[in-house]
Amino acid sequence: MSIVRRLEPIHLKSLRDHVHDTLREAIISGRFRTDEKLNERQLAAELGISTTPLKEALRQLETEGLVRTEARRGSYVTFNARQAEEMMLARAALESVMAQQAARHATDAQIALMKTHIEQMRAALQEADIARLIELNEYFHDTIHDASSCEYLRRLQNGQRMYDHAARVTVLADETERVRSFAEHEAIMLAIAERNEDEAERLMREHVMLAGEKHLITVFSYTPAEKRK
Amino acid sequence: MSIVRRLEPIHLKSLRDHVHDTLREAIISGRFRTDEKLNERQLAAELGISTTPLKEALRQLETEGLVRTEARRGSYVTFNARQAEEMMLARAALESVMAQQAARHATDAQIALMKTHIEQMRAALQEADIARLIELNEYFHDTIHDASSCEYLRRLQNGQRMYDHAARVTVLADETERVRSFAEHEAIMLAIAERNEDEAERLMREHVMLAGEKHLITVFSYTPAEKRK
DNA sequence: AGTTGAAATTTGATATATCAAGCTGTGAAA
DNA sequence: TTTCACAGCTTGATATATCAAATTTCAACT
């Protein structure tokens, strides 16, 4: 059906992307205070680069919503509990749409791959191999993104990848969560395999919301205003 | 309850933002072919600026998903019917979450403002004042965004503002659509006023999807793969 | 005819220099 | 004590110069 790819194309990452990733990771893992000022020259000096790639990275962080820039004033970190909650809401919204699209567009090969992931997760769950579980978790979601054929949505989602990873690490540390998470993943896979778009969407939404709320409570001791009915 | 704002803060828009807006508008309204290459020096020369602000604008467009940059190769426009469909899906996902949050967080003053918008829309609808209707439409959605207290989601959504505007212009040109759109807006406002979060979310989602599909069909003669059940 | 490879050229990536807006602090005038 | 003006400094915005990767061209070779 499709030609086997012998070699992956080479992608060099530019200095800008490197800076972008580095800053993003630092902000999300809390190494910058909220509203901390980011001095272009000082940061560039710290990183040992010129201001040009740094400025570009700041612009990317800005559109991602992690940095706010006031003209001729400076750039400031923007990250707090409310923002983390919004990132969870955004993730729930986007992932659920992609799950719905995956139920519509997935190839049989992609569905088979998801089934494989589920089986590997079942094994990792029993062995309590958390690192492996996190890895499989990300493969599973990636496969769904792939299957959705949603390039644009994926890119939007991508800005949150670091945050999603942090959330997974937190949530999967807890045994009860691991068991529930696995059951949810299996249900999502089955809904996609059955081409049940609405069910896939609903389940994914529920899955992300539950994991997200757990993460918020654990890390920020933050409970969303009130539970939805 | 809240202090009346006497003066709006002054916001100078930088050259970068100007370039960003200009290019975004040009791409979405189709003045660049899909996959057209964007030559940094040539574009900078055309705009009469240096490459620095242009590069920054390109980075913003890149995270917004309208431009794709391959390191040491160049930047290319990314916009086609499938992407337009995905933008519609993203809008539906994000706007519906904001509607849900608005039902939770809106102040009485914000709800009153929305009611005002609805009444003004009713008048504009009867007079078939399309320009006014488009304007009110945008005020109405903005008020919901405000009421949701979702800064981050708003920012994500903001990358699509131009596209949303284009969609409104297309859709509201049609009388049947105007009438339906108005009814949907009124229902959304009522759901938010009643603090019915789930209903507000569902209605907003439906509203955006219907308008989006109409727009796709009109502009791209593009029907999404198949209607959802 | 097809392939190869090195020179020429294009172009994005990066560095550096310059400009101008905003902040700070001092001191004099009211 | 308060106000205000101005100088000096900081810093983001912008322009320009330099570097190096990628593409193209075209002739030599098989």
Distance B34 CA to C14 C1' (A): 29
What are residue B74's DSSP bridge partners? B70
Query: Are A93 and B89 inside 8 Å of each other by CB?
Result: no
Q: What angle do CA B192, B193, B199 make, to 5 degrees?
A: 35
Query: Is A197 a member of any domain?
Result: yes
Q: How far apart are CA A117 and CA A126, in angstroms?
A: 14
Looking at the fold, whether A209 and A109 belong to one and the same domain comes out as: yes
What is the reported pLDDT for B228?
A: 42
Q: How many Å lie between the alpha carbon of A62 and the closest alpha carbon of chain B?
A: 8
Distance A58 CA to C10 C1' (A): 28
What is the reported pLDDT for A11?
A: 57
Q: Nearest chain A Cα to B83, which residue?
A: A152
Per-residue DSSP letter, B50: -
Looking at the fold, whether B163 and B210 belong to one and the same domain comes out as: yes
What is the reported pLDDT for B130?
A: 95
**B178 near B186, Cβ under 8 Å?**
no
What is the reported pLDDT for A220?
A: 82
Residues above pLDDT 70, as percent of chain A: 92
Looking at the fold, whether B52 and B94 belong to one and the same domain comes out as: no
Query: Is B5 a member of any domain?
Result: no
Looking at the fold, whether A73 and A85 belong to one and the same domain comes out as: no
Looking at the fold, whether B170 and B86 belong to one and the same domain comes out as: yes
Q: How far apart are CA B24 and CA B18, in angstroms?
A: 10
The last residue of one of the domains, among A23, A43, A77, is A77
Q: Work out the pLDDT band at A48, boundaries 50, 70, 90.
A: confident
Which residues in A lie closer than 8 A to residue B104 (C-beta atoms)?
A: 225-226
What is the reported pLDDT for B116?
A: 97
Which residues in A lie closer than 8 A to residue B78 (C-beta atoms)?
A: 151
Give, for B139, the enclosing helix (H) or strand (E). helix B130-148
Q: Work out the pLDDT band at A229, boundaries 50, 70, 90.
A: very low
Looking at the fold, whether B101 and B155 belong to one and the same domain comes out as: yes
Give, for B75, the enclosing helix (H) or strand (E). strand B74-77
Statement: residue A2 has pLDDT above 50: no
Looking at the fold, whether B172 and B147 belong to one and the same domain comes out as: yes
pLDDT tens per residue across span A89-124: 999 999 999 999 999 999 999 999 999 999 999 999
Supply φ then ψ for residue B107, to 5 degrees. Answer: -85, 165
Using only the alpha carbons of chain B, give its radius of gyration. 19
Regarding predicted confidence, which is higher, A186 or A51?
A186
**C strand bases under 7 Å from protein CB:** 11-17, 21-23
Residues having Cβ less than 7 A from any atom in strand D: A 12, 37-42, 51-52, 55, 69, 71-75; B 14-16, 49-53, 71-73
Q: How far apart are CA B27 and CA B25, in angstroms?
A: 6
Distance B73 CA to D24 C1' (A): 14
Q: How far apart are CA B92 and CA A96, in angstroms?
A: 12
What is the reported pLDDT for A3?
A: 36
CATH code where residue B185 lies: 1.20.120.530
Measuring from the CA of residue B71 to each C1', which nucleotide is nearest? C12
What is the reported pLDDT for B2?
A: 41
A 10 A CB-CB count for B168 gives 20
Looking at the fold, whether A96 and A56 belong to one and the same domain comes out as: no
pLDDT tens per residue across span B12-34: 578 888 899 899 988 888 888 88
Interface probe with B: pick from A63, A82, A85, most Cβ of B within 10 Å: A63
CATH code where residue B45 lies: 1.10.10.10
The last residue of one of the domains, among A24, A43, A77, is A77
Q: What's the 3-state SS for chain A? A: CCCCCCCCCCCCCCHHHHHHHHHHHHHHCCCCCCCCEECHHHHHHHHCCCHHHHHHHHHHHHHHCCEEEECCCEEEECCCHHHHHHHHHHHHHHHHHHHHHHHHHCCHHHHHHHHHHHHHHHHHHHCCCHHHHHHHHHHHHHHHHHHHCCHHHHHHHHCCHHHHHHHHHHHCCCHHHHHHHHHHHHHHHHHHHCCCHHHHHHHHHHHHHHHHHHHHHHHHCCCCCCCCC
Bridging pattern class, strands B67-70 and B37-38: unpaired
Tell me, yes or no, if B12 comes closer than 8 A to chain A by beta carbon: yes
What are residue A37's DSSP bridge partners? A76
pLDDT tens per residue across span A145-176: 999 999 999 988 887 887 888 899 999 999 99
Query: Are B63 and A101 inside 8 Å of each other by CB?
Result: no
Mean pLDDT of chain A: 89
Segment A180-190 shows an average pLDDT of: 97
Query: Is A95 a member of any domain?
Result: yes
pLDDT tens per residue across span A50-69: 999 998 899 899 888 899 98
Q: How far from B193 is each of A227, B115, B187, CA to CA, in Å?
A: 18, 9, 10
A 10 A CB-CB count for B3 gives 5
What is the reported pLDDT for A70?
A: 84
> What size, in residues, is chain B?
229
Looking at the fold, whether B100 and B171 belong to one and the same domain comes out as: yes
Q: Select from B142, B110, B138, B137 the least CA-distant residue to B125.
A: B137
Average pLDDT of adjacent 10-residue blocks, chain B of 229 residues: 46 79 86 89 89 90 89 87 91 96 97 97 96 95 96 88 88 95 98 98 96 90 60
**B212 near B167, Cβ under 8 Å?**
yes
Per-residue DSSP letter, B5: P
The last residue of one of the domains, among B35, B55, B77, is B77
What is the reported pLDDT for A10?
A: 57
Could you give the number of structural domains in chain B?
A: 2
What is the reported pLDDT for A12?
A: 58
Query: Are A153 and B12 inside 8 Å of each other by CB?
Result: no
Looking at the fold, whether A33 and A111 belong to one and the same domain comes out as: no
Query: Are A82 and B228 inside 8 Å of each other by CB?
Result: no
Query: Is B3 a member of any domain?
Result: no
Cβ contacts of A37 within 8 Å, gap of 6 or more: A74, A75, A76
Q: How far apart are CA B34 and CA B98, in angstroms?
A: 31
Q: How far apart are CA A172 and CA A140, in angstroms?
A: 15
Q: How many Å lie between the alpha carbon of A132 and the closest alpha carbon of chain B?
A: 30
- Per the structure, the complete domain to which residue A65 belongs is given by 15-77
Tell me, yes or no, if A205 comes closer than 8 A to chain B by beta carbon: no
Tell me, yes or no, if B196 comes closer than 8 A to chain A by beta carbon: no
- Hey, is B122 helix, strand or coil? helix
What are residue A38's DSSP bridge partners? A75
What is the reported pLDDT for B14?
A: 81
- Hey, is B135 helix, strand or coil? helix
Which residues in A lie closer than 8 A to residue B228 (C-beta atoms)?
A: 100, 197-198
Q: Work out the pLDDT band at A1, boundaries 50, 70, 90.
A: very low
